[in-house]
Amino acid sequence: MNRNPHVAVVGATGAVGVEMVKALEKRGFPAGQLTLLASARSVGREFRFRGGKITVKELTGTSFKGIDIALFSAGGSISREFAPIAVQSGCVVIDNSSAFRMDDSVPLVIPEINASEAKLHKGIIANPNCTTAITLMALYPLHKAFDVKRVFASSYQAVSGTGARAIEELRRQVTQLVNGQTVTKEIYPHQIAFNVLPHVDSFLPDHYTKEEMKMQNEGRKIMHHPTFRASVTCVRVPVYRAHSVAVSAEFGKPVSPEAAREVLKKAPGLDVVDQPEKAEYPLPLYVAEKDNCQVGRIRRDCALDNGLCFWVCGDQLLKGAALNAVQIAEELLK
């Protein structure tokens, strides 16, 4: 791999793409050149990068000549179409969609957990689902110490997880309600302002959603834990940015809140914020735009043997997406 690789961001004008560009700059990623790619309607938009300006180009089959690393965040159908083309051009693809995550030949990587697997790629490396990534930042260190068997979890997912148009929908609806106007909706099946929707992604025949099953399926792959079980309810909440997850976890070994805190304090990419008597616990408002996830409300689960409850928050545009992708790219250069 070139020490100063030519990097492309595919889907550069989307909510995650914008954060990918920011993360590359903020972390001082040694990109020799940056190319921004998007659909035809975004061509000509300009981004600031390292004091200069970069103009967005149209994504085509010939876009990847000379590019070393491509960060994809343009949805599964674009990834399925263009990632193989990029690989044929000699490019390593780090893909943020769900297209390749469960493909046995594609590493699914959270660098704090399984960084070494990034090097085993055959051209494509997958970024995990945002809710799964944020949860595993706290769950995996506990699993290493206490052997997790199963979890019950509820997510509280920000509208930015759906994209830029969903952020605009929440803003618009709040304004409409405050001004006594009729609420209009385009993105979600119901009003999201001052409401919560127990519906993230599409429903499967068993009435879980695809999003809900990702924590079990992706968790098994990332943690190399084929018997891990996760029963999850994913909920969309009227928060602009950062996901939160309430987790009840059952372990094979005895676990105390004190022992769990000691493990979590040493976990990379994670801050323990857990002084409930001072009203200090992770909040999406305060974790937004932060690289690290936060964990708190750590307590014994009174309904499970060897059980622990905790609350974890993380910026799903960063650790759940853009930051994780850039960290994977950093691993490729090591």
The Cβ of residue 260 has, within 10 Å, a number of other Cβ atoms equal to 26
Q: Which of 243, 293, 309, 313 is catalytic?
A: 243
Residue ranges of E strands in the chain = 6-10, 33-38, 46-49, 52-55, 57-58, 69-72, 92-95, 124-126, 148-157, 229-236, 243-251, 270-272, 293-300, 307-314
- 302 assigned to active site: no
- 91 assigned to active site: no
3-state DSSP helix/strand/coil percent for the chain, to nearest 5? 35, 25, 40
Task: Report the distance separating Cα 16 and Cα 249, nearest Å.
Answer: 30
Q: Which of 130, 234, 293, 309 is catalytic?
A: 130
Virtual CA dihedral for 47, 29, 91, 78, nearest 10 degrees?
Answer: -40
For the four alpha carbons of 14, 77, 213 and 330, in that order, the dihedral sign comes to: negative
Q: Which residues are designated catalytic?
A: 130, 243
